Amino acid sequence: MKAFLDACRHAIGAQYVLTAADETAAYLTDWRRRFTGSAFAVVKPACTEEVAAIVRLCHQFHVPIVPQGGNTGLVLGSIPDASNTAIVLSLTRLNRIRAIDSVNNTMTVESGCILQNVQQAAADAGRLFPLSLASEGSCTIGGNLSSNAGGTAVLRYGNARELCLGLEVVTPQGELWNGLRGLRKDNTGYDLRDLYIGAEGTLGIITAAVLKLSPLPKAQRTALAALRSPDAALRLLTLAQMRCNSALTGFELMSAFCLTLVGRHFPQMHLSFREQHAQYVLLELSDSESEEHANTLLEELIGDALQQDIVQDAIVATSLAQSAALWDIREHIPLAQAAEGKNIKHDVSLPISVIGDFIRSTDALLQQAFPGVRMVTFGHLGDGNLHYNVAHPEQETDAGFMAQQTTVNRVVHDNVHSFGGSISAEHGIGALKHEEILRYKSAVEIQLMRAIKQALDPQNIMNPGKLLT
């Protein structure tokens, strides 16, 4: 590998080819610190041409490549395996905002740009880049696109896929595909863009993208509604969509137990409802007109829902601080969960209409198999995306329960599948679920995916062992 490394050093400068253990360590462990892989080098090109030069060398020397952005993924997609045969190709030096066009409502960014910087550059131009997720201070837009990231604004703006008009990609042969088109309509061939989006770096390396921007909303309003059941939450969702249409930008379901956990571990976050309710919905409206208009819209919606007995009680935030406090509760659920002990987590999606049935039915199956388990169920109900997490029974230990993870996953995922859902709504497959999808996808689908992988990366050097095996 000396010849390969020397050629890399020649191509991008010796200081950007890291081989010392203390320099490479940060690139080899995943975000949740569940696995540490091994790479014989971490290579950090500065621009698209340098990426292409490195990939050509990998192609020539048959060196597997693990592309990496902010390394914040949750499915071990951006770290190498233990074989020490691959390089990590870090895109973080490709961090330029290349252009912003506020009339076309697009921006062209390099894939190593941190999501928060992309959001900020859009805001500086008076526009909204709506993709937003917990790791936005560290994750990169290239990683967001490669994993088709979701987040909190999917209900209104779609996933990362729907926010991208064009891509620049380095192929596994080190060739450059310039698909950086800022067009809303272009019917001139196969949709390569959407093939690379969500491919988790297994078909090529995204080096830049043209992103879609939206107008900045003039006002945002938040409310927390208390309801009897997930089915009532579905009725509220339909009512909100009919009345508010695209002004509805957030619709998050949380069970009572989620709020109990938050109250237990963060006692300063208490809710002022007079009684305990079974379910809560955090809903957010974004308005293009005015504060007053947003207020009226939200108050009329809640009033109507109370009158129709869909909602039992509600808190409407009357200030930005109150609104932030409501979101804070939602965002503290994972933290409260962690404080309570280990959890077996599931990132699933379902047809929205069956979510009530799915929760009832899966809860029952789990109680039968694991009496006393405690369900921490919350998620982006408006997108059909549930974080359906299972906490151990009060009397059981963390370790004892976690040993049964495979069985718990099987119960949940089998039921997701039977309800027509997906076992990975927004986190992807990576090295964590590539065997699981073999159970749920048809042989035809796996064969089609393999044919595409084989056609575009016949050497199998792009992120091998991820997504498909």
Contact 180, 199 (CB under 8 A): no
What are the tokens at 320? 């930005």
Q: Which is nearer to a second copy, 215 or 371 (CB)?
A: 215
Among positions 46, 61, 93, 194, the unique one binding a second copy when judged by CB under 8 A = 194
Question: What are the residues whose beta carbons fall under 8 Å from the beta carbon of 448, sequence distance 6 or more?
Answer: none
Contact between 303 and a second copy by CB under 8 A: the answer reads no
User: Smallest distance from the beta carbon of 216 to a second copy, in angstroms?
Assistant: 8
Among positions 181, 265, 342, 374, the unique one binding a second copy when judged by CB under 8 A = 181
User: Smallest distance from the beta carbon of 385 to a second copy, in angstroms?
Assistant: 5
User: Smallest distance from the beta carbon of 171 to a second copy, in angstroms?
Assistant: 7
Among positions 23, 289, 309, 435, the unique one binding a second copy when judged by CB under 8 A = 289
Contact 156, 240 (CB under 8 A): no
Stretch of residues binding a second copy (CB under 8 A), selected from 177-185, 266-274, 275-283, 364-372 = 177-185
Among positions 357, 398, 445, 459, the unique one binding a second copy when judged by CB under 8 A = 445
Among positions 20, 21, 321, 444, the unique one binding a second copy when judged by CB under 8 A = 444
**CA dihedral angle for residue 353, residue 355, residue 361, residue 362, rounded to 10 degrees:** 150
Among positions 42, 425, 431, 461, the unique one binding a second copy when judged by CB under 8 A = 425
Among positions 83, 84, 120, 246, the unique one binding a second copy when judged by CB under 8 A = 246
What are the tokens at 365? 């199956």
Q: Which is nearer to a second copy, 18 or 225 (CB)?
A: 225
Q: Show contacts with a second copy in window 349-368 (CB under 8 A).
A: 349-354
Contact between 454 and a second copy by CB under 8 A: the answer reads yes
Report which residue type is found at 411.
V
Angle at 293 between CA 292 and CA 299, to 5 degrees: 85
User: Smallest distance from the beta carbon of 298 to a second copy, in angstroms?
Assistant: 13
Contact between 433 and a second copy by CB under 8 A: the answer reads yes
Identify which of 86, 89, 39 has the alpha carbon closest to the alpha carbon of residue 68. Answer: 89
Q: Show contacts with a second copy in window 315-354 (CB under 8 A).
A: 349-354
Angle at 458 between CA 452 and CA 462, to 5 degrees: 85
Contact between 421 and a second copy by CB under 8 A: the answer reads yes
Q: Which is nearer to a second copy, 83 or 178 (CB)?
A: 178
With the C-alpha atoms ordered 213, 215, 220, 223, is the resulting torsion angle positive or negative?
negative
DSSP state of 66: E
DSSP state of 88: E
Q: Show contacts with a second copy in window 74-133 (CB under 8 A).
A: 101-106
Cα 28 to its chain centre, rounded Å, is 21
Report which residue type is found at 152.
T
Contact between 467 and a second copy by CB under 8 A: the answer reads yes
Q: Which is nearer to a second copy, 330 or 453 (CB)?
A: 453
Q: Which is nearer to a second copy, 113 or 285 (CB)?
A: 285
What SS3 string covers 158-181?
CCHHHHEEEEEEECCCCCEEEECC
As a whole number of angstroms, the distance between CA 62 and CA 450 comes to 20
Q: Show contacts with a second copy in window 206-225 (CB under 8 A).
A: 214-215, 217
How many residues belong to the site for a second copy (CB under 8 A)?
92
Q: Show contacts with a second copy in window 156-175 (CB under 8 A).
A: 158-159, 161-162, 171, 175
343-344 and 313-316 strand pairing: unpaired
User: Smallest distance from the beta carbon of 212 to a second copy, in angstroms?
Assistant: 10
Among positions 37, 426, 462, 465, the unique one binding a second copy when judged by CB under 8 A = 426
As a whole number of angstroms, the distance between CA 9 and CA 298 comes to 59
User: Smallest distance from the beta carbon of 435 to a second copy, in angstroms?
Assistant: 12
As a whole number of angstroms, the distance between CA 308 and CA 263 comes to 30
As a whole number of angstroms, the distance between CA 238 and CA 231 comes to 11
Q: Which is nearer to a second copy, 41 or 416 (CB)?
A: 416
List the x/- string, 132-151, binding to a second copy by CB under 8 A: ---------------xx-x-
User: Smallest distance from the beta carbon of 135 to a second copy, in angstroms?
Assistant: 15
Concatenate the DSSP letters of all residues of 95-140 into one string.
--EEEEETTTTEEEEETTSBHHHHHHHHHHTTEE-----TTTTT-B
Contact between 198 and a second copy by CB under 8 A: the answer reads yes
Q: Show contacts with a second copy in window 369-398 (CB under 8 A).
A: 380, 383-385
